[in-house]
Amino acid sequence: MQKLKNILFNKPLILTLWFGLSFFAVAKDVIVHFSNKETTHNNYIIYKHNFLNLIHQQSLFGPEPQYYFDLNHYGPVFGLVIAPFALMPNQLGVILWVMFLAFILYYSIIKLPLNNSQKLVILLLNINSIMGSSGNVQVNPLIIALVIFSFIFIRKQQDFWAALMIILGTAIKLYGIVGLAFFFFSDNKLKFILSLIFWSAVLFVLPMLVSSPGYILKTYHDWYPDLLAKNATNLTSTRGNVSVMGMITKIFLVKNLSNMLILIPAILVFGASMLRIKYWRNLKYQLLLLASVLIFTIIFSTSSEPPTYVIAFIGVSIWYVVLDRPITGYERFLIIFALVLTNFSPSDLFPRYLRVNYVIPYALIAFPCLLIWLKIIHEMLTRNFDKDAETLKLAGYAD
């Protein structure tokens, strides 16, 4: 058993798998299509044309079947983020983009206020997730990193930079707005609010430098109906609406289920978990909130798809490493259940028959995450964090 632990928690091995499998996942396509100097990674082509359409002042949201299938749903700020990669040849740009995403997520994890073993466990649990995300050239690792960075900066009383992470994440993909949940951990809430206003103005104006004010105003005007249309498409898609609402709708064949019937109670429960004000400065309480935010964002979003669960599973992993030890049998069941059904089911490591006929049609990927989220809420409402604070103080992690 000890020998197995030494192998599993070998940092060079974990980093090799983290970056090596991400590189392999994206580069295998590039190698296969090397002769025609192109890439078949559709998502990357969409990202690249976000930048190209931005500088040429063309619609970001219209179909361009001559370049890619599907549609772009990212705002103009994302065009500036992808710009350095979009200027490169496709084969090089897509590889460097994916490796950048793998690195930025890795860097955010190692900056969390956890010990080295806990960080390695989070990385180990998410190797399959990052590989799947890299193979699909998803932007989700960047969104996770920005949320985590907002948490880290607020804890360090660097509200100005925390605000940038939140506004940047929101401007790329609306999920980034959940960083506002850490507002109550700020020691200077007025500075935080003013910083949010400042960065909102900066990031609103910045794309105008490579386009025009009128174009950016129109683009933001067009973005809202585009997101509404995407959400409507997700509701009727087999792979879309992988949420608690989607799971209920698909399993019980409920037609016209109002999302508010599920979302409002979930928000109230989430809000109640934050009412233990005396623990707002307690590290484990804060980490549980971070885990809760990452999971909540995905399981209660009708825009969620299997690839977006890389966000939720980072939350699952953070919850797992901050559990009281020894863990209970139920907690052990939950992490194994989530590994199998949430982490592995979208990949070839899971039986295809079960994935195609049960997991995807019934949105079962959300189920383990829902159980863990409820467990986190229970912990936040009932756990004795005073005992945790003493333990952290002895270990050198308390404020």
pLDDT digits (tens, 9 = 90+) for 160-217: 999 999 999 999 988 899 999 999 999 999 999 999 999 999 999 999 999 999 999 9
* Residue 28 confidence (pLDDT): 83
Pick from 29-43, 51-65, 377-391 the range whose average pLDDT is largest: 51-65
pLDDT over threshold 90, residue 4: no
Give the mean pLDDT of 230-237: 77
- Min mean pLDDT across 36-45, 95-104, 185-194, 289-298 is at 36-45
* Residue 254 confidence (pLDDT): 85
* Residue 126 confidence (pLDDT): 97
> Contact, 74 vs 139, CB < 8 A?
yes
pLDDT-derived band at 289 (thresholds 50, 70, 90) equals very high
What distance, in Å, lies between the first and last C-alpha atoms of the chain? 35
pLDDT-derived band at 151 (thresholds 50, 70, 90) equals very high
pLDDT over threshold 70, residue 396: no
- pTM of the predicted model, to two decimals? 0.93
- Min mean pLDDT across 64-73, 98-107, 374-383 is at 64-73
Q: Which residues of the chain form beta strands (DSSP E)?
A: none
**Number of residues assigned to the chain:** 399
- Min mean pLDDT across 7-21, 332-346, 385-399 is at 385-399
* Residue 36 confidence (pLDDT): 52
* Residue 330 confidence (pLDDT): 97
* Residue 275 confidence (pLDDT): 92
pLDDT-derived band at 154 (thresholds 50, 70, 90) equals very high
pLDDT over threshold 70, residue 340: yes
> Contact, 277 vs 311, CB < 8 A?
no
pLDDT over threshold 90, residue 103: yes
* Residue 9 confidence (pLDDT): 74
Ramachandran class of 137: left when φ > 0, alpha when ψ lies in -120 to 50, beta otherwise: left
* Residue 39 confidence (pLDDT): 54
> Contact, 95 vs 26, CB < 8 A?
yes
| Residue 273, C-beta contacts closer than 8 angstroms, at least 6 positions apart | 289, 292, 376, 377, 380, 381
Closest CA to 254 of 244, 243, 246, 262: 246
| Residue 94, C-beta contacts closer than 8 angstroms, at least 6 positions apart | 26, 30, 39, 41, 44, 85, 137
**Tokens of residue 128, six digits:** 């399959």
Could you tell me what percent of the chain has a pLDDT over 70? 92
Output the CA torsion 367→257→232→204 (10° steps): -80
Mean of the per-residue pLDDT values of the chain: 91
pLDDT tens, 36-63?
Answer: 555 568 999 999 999 999 999 999 998 8
